[in-house]
Structure 1
């Protein structure tokens, strides 16, 4: 919807933003000025190595291409997020307690998160423990083991997490928005899953094993390793410890979302006093190796809804109708939503705020954006991105969404 007229007119201006990461592996003029070394093992595992000048520290990110998007079977949502928890349950060789001891001795800080499109495991540790960490991580990705009792314990913990998260009205609002915005695509449910599925999860031990067997496979996984490392040494160590991991072959048929047929309005009443929030969402573009539309939409978010935008000045500074205004547009493998969120001071102004946001979208469609503002926001995005690359962990973390979402990310 927003890719017409003015958007296409300035896509060429944006190309430097889109090209930044791929070119960064080759050019010191890029916003990503680090050499990237890549290798793919025979089993399909991808390896990305980024040497940095930060001594003695290594950062490891392991994005796996499984998220809520892959949960296509009715009644079985939430398992991608569930395994974010279960992956710390241990193996025969390294039970949970031993795994934790090994990582603690390495000074490792390990965690994970789940998105609609991928699950990412990350840790930072000392250079001396590189082989140990690669060995332990290889074991848990290939040989995760858990029995019925700990599975059910974790499933009940996930239900508690859901109840806590969605007692927050903003989280509930975004959950309802997704449910109404998508009819067929699995973006309809959040990464936690539908509540009815979470409640039944303790009964689905056998299916959990099937889910793990399908999706935790080398061809879906990338190791991104950065820091005080030698690429050839890293490649050899990964081959040694990860090369025997068996390739899978499962594919998910993701339903194609039909084009929207009109506006959808939904009001969420709340049982206790809470600030009034207004959200307006439009279908956005997907990650694409050929089209820079997603990068263009990120630029639009800053131009139209950032703190220097006319709308922010109208609603927050001058009109005093809103005290928070921002756009939310996560990178996604399939078309998702560009959502504008506004916290309204007086609930009576909610409709006027909604109208002002929609009018801004109309102007984006019908009017050309000022070139000087486009240039300024583009420069700010480049500076902000480059400024965050101040340690090995942030450097490899910056690559995660590109590796996880794009088939030809380094082209």
Structure 2
């Protein structure tokens, strides 16, 4: 469950405005590679990370529009829909010609959508970087699809929804978020509400409105990682994206009212592994405050495989197949989720009691200083040691780009781990793990989950 970016100037003035503005990065910055950022006058942000990957580069376009931005009733699922339709082609590059270009690049291209963003990505021959720019700029600015194409893709989206919703885990996720949120758009999943997906084939005209709103330079960041130089990336960005017109749409995001009592979501399913999830209202992502970093540390200390709770429930008592969880990193306040796959449905109340007691203990009992230090180090450097390819580096930076619009946010957030104290961990436990802000999700054989 845990798992997301206006007037145009031309000529010499544009050349100056689009010049790279390398962000100062101290020698102590956690991220080990240079991050060079610039922007075009139309609002497009450009991020370059030179990396020693001879002949190879990853090209990402991060669109800061996901299911979160679907604020109109009856119009959910369109962010995910465009993940599909963006591969339908343009007048210049049909779908077939686009595929031919990918082959010539030795590239694989794909896209994915989440709550806060849609990301388009390819990795291929760095010597053919300009061709990457050409084909991606063309489809972002000149996408063309007929009503027939639209209905075909809408049908594919419905099929994907139906396939995914067959899973009781997906059913529980949908019920949990729609129960936890009354007003905010996090109440629907990335796929959207089913009734909206069913009606999507009738929404051809609205699809063009959605594209016109969000596929604009001010919502987008271009990220290139690999065997490249920032000067070349910026020159190509200017050449292929400078003519992209800025838009003016800003969604009116609903504010979620404070939850005042525990809520429950249940999926009745016999002969399926019982499931328990505890979902507390949490904070929005921030690289300026310590709450999320402290929550990362807290949930890792409690639920990692070497934790006392994991050893008791999974290894010793064998009442649970796995337990884990953490806070969701999202632009608006979301859920801190803890999940446990329980062996026997009769043990769900006991497991819930043990999980909630462990969270209560953090509020009052001293934390082990050595374990706190080790957890902070593991979180920080575990991420950094995974950055061993252009694609992985780009994927990691893309998250912070869609969360804040600034790739340097990664460095600021990682630095917060060093600042978190035992008192900070206890403070976030007291602040967020309260029953009034809890939604309990369960899968089990009976009409209720046995914990109400």
Q: Common fold, TM-score beyond 0.5?
A: yes
Is structure 2 residue 416 aligned with structure 1 residue 387? no
Distance 1:57 1:409 in 2: 21
Aligned to 2:80: 81
Runs (4+) off by over 6 Å = none
Superimposed CA distance per residue, residues 184-221 of structure 1 (whole angstroms, 9 cap, x where no aligned partner): 00000000000000000000000000000000000000
Aligned to 1:64: 63
Helix, strand or coil for the counterpart of 1:274?
A: coil
Is structure 2 residue 118 aligned with structure 1 residue 146? no
Aligned residue pairs, count: 387
Is structure 2 residue 224 aligned with structure 1 residue 225? yes
Aligned to 1:301: 299
Distance 1:25 1:165 in 2: 44
Aligned to 2:319: 321
CA contact (8 A) 2:35 2:407 kept: no
CA contact (8 A) 2:172 2:265 kept: no
CA contact (8 A) 1:289 1:408 kept: no
Superimposed CA distance per residue, residues 333-370 of structure 1 (whole angstroms, 9 cap, x where no aligned partner): 01111111111111110111111111122223333432
Distance 2:363 2:219 in 1: 38
CA contact (8 A) 1:39 1:235 kept: yes
Helix, strand or coil for the counterpart of 2:402?
A: helix
Is structure 2 residue 89 aligned with structure 1 residue 93? no
Superimposed CA distance per residue, residues 48-73 of structure 1 (whole angstroms, 9 cap, x where no aligned partner): 00001111101112110101110000
Distance 1:159 1:364 in 2: 44
Aligned to 2:162: 163
Distance 2:405 2:240 in 1: 25
Shift in CA distance, 308/25, structure 1 to aligned 2, threshold 3 Å: farther
Distance 1:147 1:37 in 2: 39
Superimposed CA distance per residue, residues 134-193 of structure 1 (whole angstroms, 9 cap, x where no aligned partner): 010001011111011111111111111111111111111111100100000000000000
Aligned to 1:39: 38
Aligned to 1:400: 398
Distance 1:126 1:408 in 2: 26
Q: Mind listing any 5+ residue stretches in structure 1 that lack a counterpart?
A: 1-23
**1:290, CA displacement in angstroms?**
2.4
Superimposed CA distance per residue, residues 308-330 of structure 1 (whole angstroms, 9 cap, x where no aligned partner): 22221221111210011110433
Shift in CA distance, 400/339, structure 1 to aligned 2, threshold 3 Å: same
CA contact (8 A) 1:162 1:192 kept: yes
CA contact (8 A) 2:398 2:407 kept: no
CA contact (8 A) 1:31 1:385 kept: no
Distance 2:210 2:366 in 1: 48
Is structure 2 residue 175 aligned with structure 1 residue 176? yes
Helix, strand or coil for the counterpart of 1:359?
A: helix
Q: 2:308 aligns with which of 303, 307, 310?
A: 310
Distance 1:331 1:83 in 2: 23
CA contact (8 A) 2:296 2:326 kept: no
Helix, strand or coil for the counterpart of 1:265?
A: strand
CA contact (8 A) 2:59 2:132 kept: no
Distance 2:327 2:133 in 1: 34
**1:79, CA displacement in angstroms?**
0.4
Distance 1:332 1:361 in 2: 22
Distance 2:359 2:127 in 1: 53
CA contact (8 A) 2:37 2:45 kept: yes
For 1:160-309, list aligned pairs within 5 A.
160-270=159-269, 272-309=270-307
Distance 1:139 1:88 in 2: 11
- C-alpha RMSD over aligned residues: 1.4
**1:395, CA displacement in angstroms?**
1.3
Aligned to 2:442: none
**1:409, CA displacement in angstroms?**
5.0
Q: Mind listing any 5+ residue stretches in structure 2 that lack a counterpart?
A: 1-22, 410-452
Distance 2:256 2:60 in 1: 31
Distance 1:240 1:267 in 2: 53
Helix, strand or coil for the counterpart of 2:286?
A: coil
CA contact (8 A) 1:53 1:228 kept: yes
TM-score (norm 1): 0.91
